[in-house]
Amino acid sequence: MSERSEFFGAAVEKPKTAKLLKPKVQFNINWILGGIIPLILLIIWEIAGRIGLIEAHLLPTPTRIIKEIIEMGASGTLWGHIGMTLFRVAAGFLLGTFAALIFGSAVGYFTVVEKLMDPLIQAFRAIPSLAWVPLFILWMGIGEPSKVTLIAVGVFFPVYLNIVSGIQGVDRKLIEVGKIYGFTSTETLRKIILPASLPSFLVGLRSGLGLGWMFVVAAEIMGASKGLGYLLVVGQNTYSPHLVIASILLFAVIGKMSDSLLKNIEKKSLSWQDSFSNQR
């Protein structure tokens, strides 16, 4: 009897262990597959640079760029630049998302607010990002407030658009079901509209974060003394292509890591959906 119990116990525990290990294994496989093409391109780039197909003063080899990053990391200067850029992106992202959540929810849910506010917001959206730079400098100087505000403007619009689209795209039948069950406006918003619009909102967050990384470059070019964008300017002024490309590479790596974080949050938040992506 005890042997049968141990046998069935082992049989029950095995799927649990496999279930726990499956996401980690899948995560590692995704990273391996995603790194194949970049690795091939880096190898081709390195070979082309070493045999002289690419001039070193125009496009240094990957090993020269990685050496530059390691040297900056060893001297301690790199971490200050990365930390300042991360702070600006995080502050601008939170500020822009908060504003987009307020305006997007109001515009998406109330028809009167949409008619009043949406035309003005869409007009502002058409203004090029760099057009805000001189105005923000005049209003707030070249300190951190102007930089964070510029990043927040870049984050605001994609998040706002996705929130409005998600709320207005909620199936009308779901709203009718809520009315049948006697839901109040608050309960309808909390139990039906917000869960149904969550996928669109999360996509907006990822788009907003991507624009946040783009806007931080413009923000740090306008008079910063620290940050990855500042390193781009230093590399340009000192004619150091290895420093410029090192900064670009760091933007790519850190931006990808932050997007992967939001993507994992999105996947976990939407695990209840019976969608194609959740079945893969």
pLDDT on residue 277: 56
pLDDT on residue 22: 52
| In 110-143, alpha helices (H) | 111-125, 132-140
DSSP state of 204: H
pLDDT on residue 5: 42
Sign of CA dihedral 246, 233, 83, 163: negative
Q: Which of 98, 108, 79, 114 is nearest to 149 (CA)?
A: 98
Per-residue model confidence as pLDDT tens digits over 116-150: 999 999 998 888 877 888 888 888 888 888 899 99
Q: What's the average pLDDT block by block, 10 residues per block, for the chain (280 residues)?
A: 42 44 58 81 86 80 87 87 93 94 88 90 86 84 86 93 88 82 78 83 91 88 82 86 89 90 82 58
Can you state the angle between helices 111-125 and 144-168, rounded to 10 degrees? 130
pLDDT on residue 143: 81
Whole-angstrom Cα distance, residue 74 to residue 61? 20
Chain centre to alpha carbon of residue 232 = 21
pLDDT on residue 183: 80
Per-residue model confidence as pLDDT tens digits over 223-237: 777 888 888 888 888
pLDDT on residue 34: 75
∠ CA 31-35-41, nearest 5°, is 175
